[in-house]
A and B are shown apart, each in its own frame.
Chain A
Amino acid sequence: MAAPTKKRARVEMESETKSNPGQYISEKAKESEKRGHKRKRAQDSFIKMKPNEQEDDWLSLAPRCINVADFAEARATEINTMMKAMNNISGGRRIFQKLPRHMRRRAMSHNVKRLPRRLRARAEAEVQKHKRANKQDSGAAKRSRRHRRRPKNLFAEYERRKRKHIWLETHIWHAKRFHMSEKWGYKIPHHPNEKSVRASYRALAKHCLIQDISYYGVIEVTGPQGYLLKSLAHLTNTDSGLTFASLSYLGGKRHGTTMLYQYDKYPYSAISVVNFLWKCLSCECDDRVAIKEETNTDAADKFSSTESRQLWMWVHPSSYETVLNEIVKMFHAKPVMEKMKKKRTQIDKGSDGVEDTGDESSLDFTKTDRQFKNSCVHIRTLKFDLLRFRLQGPLSHSVLLDVLQSAEVKCSDIEECEKMKWWESYYEDTQNAAVHDRQKEVWKNLKNIRTSSELSPGCVLSLTVKDPRLLLPQKKTKVMTAVENTTEPLANERIDLCRRFPDGISQSPIWEKKARKKASVEKFSIDELNKKRAEHLIPGTVLQLGREESRIPILLLHNPGKLEDVKEQMSCQEMQNSLGFGGGWDIVIPSGWGMAFWIALIYRGARAGGEREAQSASAQQGLPYFPYDFPDTLAYNETSNLRKNELESKYSRYPPDKRTNYAKFGVVAPFCSPWEQLVVEWNDTSVSISAKEQTSSIDVDASEMVLNELKVDDMAVTDSVPRDAVYVLRSRSRLRHLAKSCHRYKNMGKDCITSSLSSVLKGDSHALVCVSLRMVHRGVPALFGMVCLADSDDLQQLYRDKNYGGPLETLHKDPSLILKKLDKKCKKRKTKLDTEVKAALVAEINASNSLVSSVKNSCNRQIIGYVCKGSHTFSTGTGCALAYCTIPGLIKMLGDKPASCHAVVLVRNIKSLQYRFAYLSVLTKCW
């Protein structure tokens, strides 16, 4: 009741004094607010507030009473806001949820009619809106499961899903058993779902590990040999190993691996590692080449030859486009627009069951291969024509022997009316048939060999084999080698065979597009096979299809695994154990046959692995794996950027107390390795030292002298290339020299070593060197781990105490944490933080964030490199790693190293303060 009377008073007063409606009296009011916290003081100020008093004349501006209109309006707006607030249904609730409880009914959201009539219209509108939103999300309503699972619809769905990422032919088999990852435009099996790290290693070491690496695309280059070799020489360099032009590869009897660089940019701008194979010359020509090989005719001859040759290059998908572009650019080739042929009639109409769906992809002509042409060179991409499986391990040979059986290709009774099969038309040529006989003979002889490591490294064998589905064992079995073979001494001829295959053995119809396509088209579907099998009276008898049976042309590429070259450094025993470790066969088959061969191989006990297994296999062998371990390539940059983003986002997802504070651990780059900066810093120091030397002639250590020399040379030699471009040293001779100086050596002075190194490594101060690390005692190096120089104290302690684990990094201070703490303290005490201190701290934080601070001296020991790949290796039983180091750093390390010891460095992981000792050896063979 008080309020209305009050209002009356106000209204009465209004007529006397008229003034503007006041706003907030902001500043002064607040000031006085501060003053008048206590009640008494408030009262005082209230007294003062009388308008006639001088001090608070600001109050005179405010009205002594209120305007009726404003008063009414304020009420009106409040009523409106109240009404709006009540009408607004917040929190995404539906209209019926606003009903009082006693009016609620079951299934109101489903049936509008359960609502009171006056609300129905609005509820209906809500339902419609919901429906519309749903439709935009997921398209048409879901069909029933039965409809979706019909083979036709299922395949349509697969085709749709394949569009985004290319599927391997074995995709569905893998998708059921593996974690799949989307990489480089493919769906690639990453690792099996079962626990399998050790099992995979066992398979690699004792049995057979198999991977589908069909994602390696093929680039085919056809043209006159001399021209091809001359052009390709611009992309490669003989310094870094054998190239395309090497005579041992040119005959087509061996496949090789080489590093591609951008046109004439060696050693900068590496692109990719490629595996290549020349098409074998037809028999007579081959003889000629063989003779050449023996007589060692001059190299000029091979460059002048105008014979048309065919070259296949298997390229990793991460760099496929770059390689293709580079080659096309080099030959000035123009793209050939070929009109897409009509979709081939699919011979196998019946569904082969879910697991066989990979076959369809090969027949899908939407994925056509591109072609490029210039006057004499023809470049073609064969991304979808060829599959490649990698079998590693000692028993891969026996597994293959069991799976592959040479087919009969004699075409005895061809009825004229019938269409010729591909093999009939190919093997009509007696020469081809003769080659086939020879291949058959060789394959038979190879049964006497226990493992593939006894063969000459990198040899190629081609076969035309029977349909592997007909030879499937009843149950999954594990093929083991026949024991009697091992006891039998090898006959001389067999040893010869191992050493050198007869000529023309790698000649194969798989090189011809027509034969390849026909081979995949003329395939029986499993359905048809099963129907034929059902006709047998006795179940389980082997199908004899005769002429109807498919023949498949395949290539077998031998992988030597670990060679002596890699492990010069290791002790003899280790070498014996690991000789040929990880070797085996690669099998290349025409597309469409993937699942047939895959199942056949799996049924022989081969263990399937994914990309993780491939990586760990390369780690066990101590070899780099493309593209993760090639820091100077574009593909590495891309993948490492992706990895960096992934790691960073994962890191930022964790609360600060549940994640490593890298600032405290003194880790500058926890998510990527800053190669460029490291190299630049190592080169800068050498300059600064030289300056110091000039001013105050302090006696400089020999190794530092070397650095200066390097620097000077560098300036003189490399003018045209960007000076701080980072590249990886791949020159064999220099690497060998470096590798030698890592060993213990006698009767050579320190100066001698360093000076000779400096002369050899002229102008390579900006290079990185691939090194392998083996831990001295404990510890497993991990990705991004830091390779540091050991102090002389550390080394002495190590020599004195054989069990000395290694020094500890002192815990760093995190400036951002300190700032936080100070802020908190100040808040508590209600004082302000000293601006100078704060500015210093902020500057420090910024510096650490932007990587401006030194990388090299970011922790107690100087960093010379970073670990690319590190793990526990089962083969040695220690932690091993592959790392890249800067050359100035390496030389400094080698200069300080006592002559009687193997080179030792310190390795520290990003999540630990503990440095560990590791033996360092330089890898001379980088792929």
Chain B
Amino acid sequence: MVRFKNRYILCELVFEDDFLVHPTEERNLYYKIKEAIAKAHGDYGVGVLQGGLSVKYLNVYTNIVFIRARRAYHKLVLSALPFIRSIAKYSCFLNTLHVGGSIRSCQKFLQKYGRQQLAILLRKCKTQEEKQEVQKSILNCSLIEKDQVTVEDDIGD
């Protein structure tokens, strides 16, 4: 059937300062994105994108966000994202990691990406304690993987 096709943009928020948690909210980011689009593409951009634009997911601990936009105009969003310089008074920028056709594909990417990050972190560890802790968390997220029959591999698309 006919449906709206979307693109999901997976971004990382990179803050200038290094607080552990930045109290940002989805709507803060949403308004920021809209502002940026208005600045970069004017009323046309806002009008064309307002329909499907939303922030689907925001993790304040890992600073990961999913942004949804209509597929036809999602490039306008991509091009506007670099103009975001701050969110809720914290200055930051958005680092686009992945553009996917469904939330599922973004989730998949994020999973893979997270593992990579943990591996890098492990290599960078200096003290033995740190190393152990990182190993523990790596084990944590892979143990569950073993318990469950990994569907995404099973289904194999």
Residues of A bordering B, CB below 8 Å: 2-4, 6-11, 13, 15, 21-26, 29-30, 32-33, 35-36, 39, 41-43, 45-46, 49, 62-80, 82-83, 85-87, 98-100, 103, 118-119, 122
Contacts and interface: CB of A to CB of B under 8 A. Distances in A.
Contact of B17 (A3, A21, A22, A49): A49
Interface string B47-61: 000000000000111
The dominant DSSP class at the A interface is helix
B44 interface: no
A100 B105 CA distance: 13
Given A7-B121, A68-B133, A100-B155, A78 B19 contact: no
B137 A73 contact: yes
Contact of A2 (B95, B117, B144): B95
A75 B114 contact: yes
Given A72-B133, A87-B151, 4 more contacts: A2-B95, A30-B23, A75-B137, A83-B141
A788 B108 CA distance: 74
B115 A8 contact: no
Interface in B111-157: 111, 114-115, 117-118, 120-121, 124-127, 130, 133-134, 137-138, 140-141, 144-145, 148-152, 154-157
Contacts of B108: 82, 86
A83 B23 contact: no
B114 to A, nearest CB: 4
Given A68-B130, A86-B108, A36 B89 contact: yes
Contact of A87 (B18, B19, B148): B148
A415 to B, nearest CB: 83
Nearest to A96: B155
A43 B86 contact: yes
A95 to B, nearest CB: 9
Contact of A4 (B120, B140, B155): B120
Nearest to A11: B124
A80 B144 contact: yes
A50 to B, nearest CB: 9
A98 B102 CA distance: 14
Contacts of A26: 23
Contacts of A7: 117, 120-121, 124
B110 interface: yes
B130 to A, nearest CB: 5
B20 interface: yes
B85 A39 contact: yes
A78 B18 contact: no
B88 interface: yes
Contact of A64 (B18, B125, B126): B18
Please name the 4 residue pairs, one residue from A and one from B, whose CB atoms are nearest each other, closest first.
Answer: A36-B89, A69-B133, A74-B61, A76-B137
In this complex, the member of A32, A42, A75, A103 whose beta carbon has the largest number of chain B beta carbons within 10 angstroms is A75
Contacts of A74: 59, 61-62
Contacts of B19: 22, 62-64
Contact of B118 (A32, A41, A75, A99): A75
Nearest to B140: A76
B90 interface: yes
B107 interface: yes
24 contacts: A3-B12, A3-B95, A23-B21, A25-B23, A30-B23, A42-B86, A42-B89, A42-B90, A42-B91, A64-B17, A66-B20, A69-B134, A74-B59, A74-B62, A75-B117, A76-B114, A79-B115, A79-B141, A86-B104, A86-B107, A87-B148, A98-B151, A100-B156, A119-B155
Contacts of A29: 23
Interface in B1-43: 12, 14, 16-21, 23, 28
Contacts of A33: 23, 28, 88-89
A82 B107 contact: yes
B93 to A, nearest CB: 9
Given A62-B19, A71-B121, A79-B114, A15 B126 contact: yes
Nearest to B117: A75
Contacts of A32: 89
A510 B88 CA distance: 93
Contacts of A64: 17-19
Nearest to B109: A82
A82 B89 contact: no
Contacts of A77: 61, 141
Nearest to B59: A78
B76 interface: no
A42 B121 CA distance: 32
B18 A99 contact: no
